[in-house]
Structure 1
């Protein structure tokens, strides 16, 4: 049986740079035709619901926003046994700790993928609800994808320019293009509450 590869993006697109991993798998889907042995998945914040997908994979490639304590936009790649340690480097959000638990559970049950690759990007902003990726992080989507493509090629899974259709990605309404284009202006979107209930200024 051919080696089965799962490429997963995790994170929450509603919290600025938290969406980095999800946007990476979207980019892959839109720009590259992957062989049938490779599955693309928007893992979002699904936690333990992701276990069945890991059970079916021999190799797992994960894109995520990871706090490495580096300059915003810095890419860092870790492999195999190092991956769980970095996934829990700092509790930035619920999804990170949750995915560390997913890996630990898969290992305990004996069906964790043999090879693990984490392609992480240092976030700039995580506390902007409804915000998009900051420019320095968005600029690292294509380089991060190139890392994954190179890793795949070394394993014999060669991608070609084109598209990969997957029903495991997000609804089109929250894909990056639609999400960014639909955002109201700063004047129209109050990020701190409803102006009708603010106390009147003296």
Structure 2
């Protein structure tokens, strides 16, 4: 336990890439939490992006670790699934969906090697519907799982005394450090990003045609 509080050191970590459609789910969940809640000093919110091994010190600091991510469960798109404890690193290793998951599996392995793996871990994952849309955003079914993912984390953390203070009004995007810049806030991103017609998000047709010929 942390010396200044009876609550355990808790890391709420979103991983993924905002620019690849549903791959950004984990970061969007942490962004939502940051805009709607405040915590004591024993709780950290972090956009882990695709940083991989650079997250190891943050993970080693935590006693409780909640990871939000888009995960290939082999289920229907938009399905929310929870994985706990020792199954978390094993699961991330068994079903790699992108390079950031390989990197984060290594983070957990290194933290364990150094004797600082969090005491308890929870993976809150959603089955993605779309990953091959560069510059895309969350699909509707996956976006609808943001608040259920937050609720699942709250329920899991409640027995450990982690207090969530709801804000009367959402804070401004990008108000907290270690989170996405305000320009990448979900509504603004969706409003200002080029359409698929303006900026091809599936590859240059000339290159794709050449690959088919080869």
Q: Would you say same fold, with TM above 0.5?
A: yes
- The answer to whether structure 1 residue 58 and structure 2 residue 69 are counterparts is no
Q: Distance in 2 between matches of 1:89 and 1:127?
A: 21
Question: Unaligned 5+ residue runs, structure 1?
Answer: none
Task: Specify which of 107, 132, 135 is matched with residue 130 of structure 1.
Answer: 135
Q: Distance in 2 between matches of 1:94 and 1:160?
A: 34
> In the TM superposition, what is the alpha-carbon distance from 1:175 to its structure 2 partner?
2.1
Contact 1:153 1:159 survives alignment (8 Å):
no
Q: Which sits farther off after the overlay, 133-142 or 85-94? A: 85-94
Question: Unaligned 5+ residue runs, structure 2?
Answer: none
Q: Write out per-residue CA displacement over residues 142-176 of structure 1, whole angstroms, 9 at most, x where no aligned residue.
A: 00001111222221112121168531112111221
Task: Specify which of 73, 76, 83 is matched with residue 78 of structure 2.
Answer: 73
Contact 1:9 1:25 survives alignment (8 Å):
yes
Aligned-partner SS, 1:88? helix
Q: Write out per-residue CA displacement over residues 32-83 of structure 1, whole angstroms, 9 at most, x where no aligned residue.
A: 1223211000000000000111121111100000000000011110111010
Contact 1:67 1:89 survives alignment (8 Å):
no
Aligned pairs, how many?
Answer: 197
Superposed CA RMSD in Å reads 1.8
> In the TM superposition, what is the alpha-carbon distance from 1:194 to its structure 2 partner?
7.8
Aligned-partner SS, 1:61? strand
1:175 match: 185
1:39-188 aligned within 5 A: 39-162=44-167, 166-188=176-198
Q: Distance in 2 between matches of 1:186 and 1:126?
A: 15
TM-score by length of 1: 0.91
1:15 match: 20
Q: Which runs of 4+ in 1 moved over 4 A?
A: none
